[in-house]
């Protein structure tokens, strides 16, 4: 019994140390300076991160806990540090950002900090100069919309909420060649949220938010239900993420709307049959929650 107890204690201590570790610790000899570069110069939340050419990452706007930001930073993988770059013309948070085919980054919508509000403004970031250029605003102001880059180079943005925080059931297309927005056919359901849409290998865009998952066909310009069940396992999701896996399947991880506890159930969509099925609870989420209870981290 004593041996069993000692083994349990050893396993628990190892799990807590592994799962709750904040990363490599600074060793004597100046490695702490290298670790310091991993931190953003300004605390940020409620913003999208966009991977640019060369592995660089753009962090635009967001919220620092007390105000909405217009400043931006770029992570340089060669140095492992963040550096400041040009600020946006409009302060915004809960906005969408998409990398264009020419390497520039388009940001659109969001909120400028008002409790109930939405922005229609859009602007483009040029990585070579580090500057922003305003483009035509969207036809509809959208807070927390979903956006993807289509195979033909256009950007599709859908859903979000309006200035009164009402869900939007509309979509728009941005053409980088002309800098103009045009109305797209509306989806069957309201949707939104960053990282809730991906483009599949067949060119169709999959949007998974709310209760219904839908596919947008850029060739026909029409929407269709995604999968025979017509949704992501019947779960009304909010504040989740949608990721395209290397084998063509789609992984959806997130919490249901009005949930008291974070959603730990994963949903996958089959590549061929187009069906959804549930996966076991996410191990990382379980371990994080368990170890934090044990170590109070």
pLDDT of residue 37: 60
User: Is the predicted pLDDT of residue 91 greater than 70, yes or no?
Assistant: yes
User: Is the predicted pLDDT of residue 49 greater than 50, yes or no?
Assistant: yes
Work out the average pLDDT over 34-62: 88
Work out the average pLDDT over 240-261: 72
Kindly report, residue by residue over 106-130, the tens digit of the pLDDT.
999 999 976 668 999 999 999 999 9
Kindly report, residue by residue over 207-236, the tens digit of the pLDDT.
887 667 899 999 999 999 885 434 444 555
pLDDT of residue 200: 94
Weakest-pLDDT range from 26-35, 78-87, 263-272:
26-35
Q: What percent of the chain has pLDDT over 90?
A: 52
pLDDT of residue 233: 44
Could you tell me the pLDDT band of residue 190, with boundaries at 50, 70 and 90?
confident
Kindly report, residue by residue over 11-44, the tens digit of the pLDDT.
344 444 434 444 444 334 444 444 556 789 899 9
Q: What is the mean pLDDT of the chain?
A: 77
User: Is the predicted pLDDT of residue 252 greater than 90, yes or no?
Assistant: no
Q: What is the pTM of this model?
A: 0.75
pLDDT of residue 108: 97
User: Is the predicted pLDDT of residue 188 greater than 90, yes or no?
Assistant: no
pLDDT of residue 281: 52
Work out the average pLDDT over 151-177: 94
pLDDT of residue 236: 53
User: Is the predicted pLDDT of residue 5 greater than 80, yes or no?
Assistant: no
State the pairing for strand pair 222-225/212-217.
Answer: antiparallel
* Distance between CA atoms of residues 165 and 262, nearest Å: 23
Weakest-pLDDT range from 83-92, 225-234, 242-251, 285-294:
285-294
């Amino acid at each position: 019994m004593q041996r069993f107890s000692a083994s349990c204690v050893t396993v628990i201590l190892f799990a807590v140390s592994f799962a709750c570790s904040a990363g490599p610790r600074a060793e004597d000899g100046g490695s702490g300076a290298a670790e310091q570069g991993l931190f953003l110069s300004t605390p940020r939340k409620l913003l999208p991160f966009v991977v640019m050419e060369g592995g660089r990452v753009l962090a635009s706007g967001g919220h620092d806990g007390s105000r909405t930001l217009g400043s931006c930073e770029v992570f340089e993988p060669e140095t492992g540090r963040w550096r400041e770059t040009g600020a946006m013309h409009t302060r915004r948070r809960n906005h969408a950002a998409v990398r264009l085919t020419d390497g520039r980054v388009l940001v659109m919508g969001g909120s400028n900090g008002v409790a109930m509000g939405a922005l229609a403004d859009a602007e483009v970031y040029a990585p070579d100069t580090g500057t922003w250029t305003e483009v035509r605003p969207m036809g509809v102001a959208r807070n927390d919309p979903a956006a993807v880059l289509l195979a033909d180079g256009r950007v599709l943005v859908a859903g979000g909420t309006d200035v009164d925080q009402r869900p939007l059931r509309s979509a728009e297309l941005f053409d980088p060649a002309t800098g103009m927005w045009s109305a797209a056919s509306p989806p069957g359901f309201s949707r939104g949220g960053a990282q809730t849409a991906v483009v599949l290998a067949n060119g169709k865009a999959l949007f998974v938010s709310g209760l219904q998952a839908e596919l947008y066909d850029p060739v026909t310009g029409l929407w269709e239900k995604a999968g025979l069940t017509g949704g992501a396992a019947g779960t009304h999701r909010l504040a989740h993420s949608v990721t395209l896996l290397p084998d063509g399947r789609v992984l959806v991880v997130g919490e249901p709307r009005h949930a008291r506890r974070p959603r730990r159930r994963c949903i996958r969509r089959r590549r061929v049959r187009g069906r959804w099925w549930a996966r076991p609870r996410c191990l990382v989420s379980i371990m994080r929650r368990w170890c934090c209870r044990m170590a109070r981290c």
